[in-house]
Amino acid sequence: MTGGFNLEKTYLGIPIYLDTNTLLDLLASMEDGFSTASTTITRENESKTSGSSKEGNFGINFYTILKLGLKGSTNEEIVDQNKKETTNARFHTYGSLMNRLIQNLHKKQTIKTVDDAQSWDDINESDFIELQGRFIPNPIVNSLTKLNNLFDLLIRFSEQKLIPPYDNLDNPPIPEDIPIPQGVSKKQFINQVKKDIRKDAENQLKQYKSIKEMLDGITKDLGNEDYQKYVIELKNLPNHRILAYLFNEFIRDRAGAELPYGEFRILGKVVRKLGPNESIDLLEGTTVGLSDEIIDGLKSPLNEMSGQFRIPEIFTSVKFPAIQIIPIAVFV
């Protein structure tokens, strides 16, 4: 057995995300296929008692459409002359099947628990792994969403004249050290400077709205994806990261209140382990066609604002040390 999983205790995980297709595939492979739900038979005879064991099944009710079985056992006892037969059927939920899969993987020593640098180094591609970490939503989507919210506030505050220079455009302050050109009266000069300040403020507000419109389109399109991209920071190895694609149909909380920035355990299979000079492009596979050029173009006006506002950094890649996995279950 690898890691600190304790088989002496019954493990009861609560699934937050569960790929039921992969779950059933793996269980069917490990259990040598499924059978239909069967029964447990008990017979009683008062003169003697004997025990015997025969193969039986655990069943799963698949949305009342499909019943599958897992290998189990039944017992037969004879206790009295009046033979009595009772029938019981056991059904599994997806959560109980997840717990069974995790226990089976540990019993067969086919899973690696990642909790320190040594266990990280031992990871190979195609390994089953279990680890605990903090789930960070796709950093680029997260950054763009924060920026979108920031520009929404900027536009609202500017239009309501709550922040400079919009709070005093009727009589904006004029710097005293500005030289007055020859042949221009002080009054004319001040009026022209005020006009220029108002024009700059209007252009700035137009730029805010233009960036906000672009961010609206990007974040809306990214939100329409069938999956969510998460970067997982390991609890005991904060500089090591896991990239996982979670499909919306298998997430318990569609509203997105549980997973973001929460700390959970994850079971998955490694598909890629980065080398020292490798990285994973977070822009890859986006339907909106984001590119480094578009992101760089967005960074230019943002850098000009960095002196006034705290602009979130836009991450476009996950760098070494990192691995990419196919997630099977996220649980707590």
Q: How high is the mean pLDDT in each 10-residue block of the chain (332 residues)?
A: 50 90 92 57 43 38 42 48 56 86 93 94 96 89 82 91 85 80 85 89 91 83 79 92 94 83 96 94 68 68 65 78 97 94
Integer angstrom CA distances of residue 43 from 47, 50, 58, 81, 134: 12, 10, 20, 10, 53
Q: Which pLDDT value is given to residue 285?
A: 67
Q: Which pLDDT value is given to residue 252?
A: 87
What is the pairing mode between strands 51-62 and 91-92?
parallel
Query: DSSP string covering 149-195, please?
Result: HHHHHHHHHHHTT-STTGGGSSS----TTPPPPTT--HHHHHHHHHH
Helices within 11-138 (DSSP H only): 20-30, 94-107, 117-121
Domain boundary, last residue among 67, 82, 109:
109
Residue 235, in any domain of the structure:
no
Domain boundary, last residue among 219, 243, 261:
219
Same domain, 101 and 181: no
pTM over 0.75: no
Dist. CA 133–CA 294, nearest whole Å: 31
Dist. CA 38–CA 196, nearest whole Å: 84
Residue 144, in any domain of the structure:
no
Q: Which strand (E) or helix (H) includes residue 214?
A: helix 186-223
Domain boundary, last residue among 204, 219, 234:
219
Residue 56, in any domain of the structure:
yes
Residue 155, in any domain of the structure:
no
The parent domain of residue 196 ranges over 163-219
- Residue 185: Cβ-neighbour burial (10 angstroms; 0-12, 13-18, 19+): exposed
Would you state the structure tokens that stand for residue 238, as one six-digit string?
């904060």
Q: Which pLDDT value is given to residue 55?
A: 41
Number of domains in the chain: 2
Same domain, 105 and 169: no
Same domain, 104 and 169: no
What is residue 70's DSSP assignment?
Answer: E
Q: Which pLDDT value is given to residue 322?
A: 97
Would you state the structure tokens that stand for residue 36, as one six-digit string?
């239909």
Q: Which pLDDT value is given to residue 237?
A: 92
The answer to whether 258 touches 274, Cβ cutoff 8 Å, is: no
Residue 95, in any domain of the structure:
yes
Residue 225, in any domain of the structure:
no
Same domain, 21 and 102: yes
Dist. CA 196–CA 214, nearest whole Å: 27
Q: Which pLDDT value is given to residue 264?
A: 96
Q: Which strand (E) or helix (H) includes residue 219?
A: helix 186-223
Residue 79, in any domain of the structure:
yes
* Neighbouring-strand partners of residue 325: 244, 270
Residue 265, in any domain of the structure:
no
Would you state the structure tokens that stand for residue 129, as one six-digit string?
């792994």
